[in-house]
Amino acid sequence: MASEKILVCGAGGFIGGHLVADLIRHGKRVRAADVKPLDEWFQLFSDAENFQFDLCSRENCGRAVADIDLVYNLAADMGGMGFIENNKALCMLSVLVNAHLLMAAKEVGVNRFFYASSACVYAAGKQIDPNVTALKEEDAYPAMPEDGYGWEKLFSERMCRHFREDFGLTTRVARYHNVYGPHGTYDGGREKAPAAICRKVISAKLSGTHEIEIWGDGKQTRSFQWIDDCVKGTQLIMQGDYAEPLNLGSSELVTINQLVDLVEEIAGVRLKRSYNLSAPKVVNGRNSDNNLIQSVFNWEPSTRLRDGLERTYAWIYDQMAPQVAARPAKLSAV
């Protein structure tokens, strides 16, 4: 309902920014919260109430949920595979955000609470082969998730379940699979594979080096979900009647080499490839089984990877090209 007031936690991040944009576009009243200073948010909207809150704090969570009807919790200290492999303690500390938000939401009587979980909750033993069998929701147990980040996500899922069972708080959970698109990070160590590959290809093209380093052997497989599909699915799950965690991801499986092929095709270049076999790669294969979300909502994320990559590449190119153009030209030897 248009009169409902909605809190988006992690609003300064990639997915959170797109969610706020869509909610405002549909006339919703939005409070946006993130730990980052406002000038570091990926997207900032004057139509929202914007607050810099460290939501690890119980007090700040109470301030954030005051007079709120719906809570979307997308707040987490996370990034791509390089970040989560090397920052396990930081990733696990995000449990404080969800715990304190749930407590505050229960106290003020919010109507619904959404938690953004991850495909990293799935057992590592089911993701050894690049020719992976798509992961079903039931595959999270017996539990052996990604160390650090995955354990925090799985534990927070259980917290949502028990707050629903014990306190009657309506909770919904989506397990995000590799979301990509514009208005997100593409460098600095927290970027996901599509953004990282776009950045590397653009850099190679603009610099004229025509070389690219790929983490792993390039044969590992993933599926990548376009941001607009993620935002739509998030709201479907929040508004729906299904209470258990649901996969939210594309089922279009590609190798990392194929991902590079697509970006090269978009860029109109062919690059020499080198493979860093010592770099983090997490699991060899991961894909989303979408049978359950199809059954519940008669819908699944369906934007073609090629189509989404074109728009992502164009946005990252527009960010990078002026930076390259502004660099001082090297003087030729006389």
Cα separation, 318 vs 291, in Å, equals 37
Distance (Å) of CA 3 to CA 6, 61, 84, 242, 294: 9, 22, 38, 24, 30
CA atoms within 13 A on the CB side of 303: 23
Q: Is 327 helix (H, G, I), strand (E, B) or coil?
A: coil
Of 25, 107, 104, 113, whose CA–CA distance to 69 is shortest?
113
Cα separation, 76 vs 142, in Å, equals 24
Diameter over CA atoms, the chain: 78
Residue pointed to by tokens 């369906």: 302
User: C-alpha angle with apex 260: 184 to 120, nearest 5 degrees?
Assistant: 55
| From 72, 149, 176, 313, the catalytic residue | 149
243 sits in which H/E element? none
176 is catalytic: no
Active site amino acids: 149
